[in-house]
């Protein structure tokens, strides 16, 4: 009898996961104005305001040596259509996975936010400023100082 209950539970969990993945969206992210050089473009995705901008749901890394122009198109899979998301970009030239700043707090590396939201006097915009639905295609222009 216990095996039957376990089978039913596993079957239901598998079915729910399958339904979630069938409803998932693929977002086409176009990143423009990428400066030539070394390093990686880090694409961080956030599911809610509590995570933003320091604790991403997932981060993808694009090796800049694979980018031949100043624009790249990247596909982000498995985003749920009913949710809102936000994206941050970092042109991580030295591959330390952190934004580097000069002595007065100005970024030394390129950055970008979904909706091309602008920082608020050296602080990140809000999750709401950057949020989007996964049914949209996203274009983010990298900013450099």
Position 5 pLDDT exceeds 80: no
pLDDT tens-digit readout, 61-113: 999 999 989 999 999 998 999 899 999 999 999 999 999 999 998 899 999 99
Q: Would you state the pLDDT for residue 9?
A: 41
The SS3 of residue 129 is helix
What are the backbone dihedrals phi and psi of residue 19, each rounded to the nearest 5 degrees, phi first?
-65, -45
CA torsion angle 9 14 19 21 (round to 10): 150
Summarize the confidence of residues 34-50 as an average pLDDT: 97
Model-level pTM greater than 0.85?
Answer: no
Summarize the confidence of residues 114-126 as an average pLDDT: 92
Q: Is 32 exposed, middle or buried (0-12, 13-18, 19+ CB in 10 A)?
A: middle
Q: Please tell me which residue, 38 or 20, carries the higher pLDDT value.
A: 38
Q: Would you state the pLDDT for residue 122?
A: 76
Q: Which residue has the tokens 């339904």?
A: 19
Q: Would you state the pLDDT for residue 105?
A: 87
Tell me if 24 sits within 8 A of 17, measured CB to CB. no
The pLDDT confidence band at residue 22, using thresholds 50, 70 and 90, is: low
Tell me if 144 sits within 8 A of 32, measured CB to CB. no
Position 53 pLDDT exceeds 80: yes
- Would you kindly state where each structural domain of the chain is located, as residue ranges? 2-141
Summarize the confidence of residues 117-137 as an average pLDDT: 92
Q: Please calculate the CA angle 127-92-42 and round it to the nearest 5 degrees.
A: 45
Q: From 138, 112, 142, select the one nearest 26 (Cα to Cα).
A: 138
3 vs 12: CA distance, rounded Å: 14
């Amino acid at each position: 009898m216990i095996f039957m209950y376990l089978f039913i539970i596993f079957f239901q969990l598998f079915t729910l996961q399958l339904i979630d993945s069938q409803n998932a969206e693929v977002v086409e992210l176009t990143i423009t104005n990428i400066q030539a050089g070394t390093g990686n473009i880090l694409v961080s995705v956030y599911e809610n305001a509590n995570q933003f901008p320091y604790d991403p749901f997932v981060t993808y890394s694009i090796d800049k040596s694979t980018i031949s122009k100043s624009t790249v198109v990247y596909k982000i899979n498995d985003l749920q259509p009913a949710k809102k998301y936000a994206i941050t970009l970092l042109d991580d030239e030295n591959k330390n996975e952190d934004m580097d700043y000069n002595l007065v707090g100005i970024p030394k590396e390129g950055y970008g936010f979904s909706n091309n939201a602008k920082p608020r006097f050296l602080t990140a915009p809000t999750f709401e400023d950057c949020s989007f639905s996964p049914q949209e295609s996203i274009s983010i222009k990298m900013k450099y100082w």
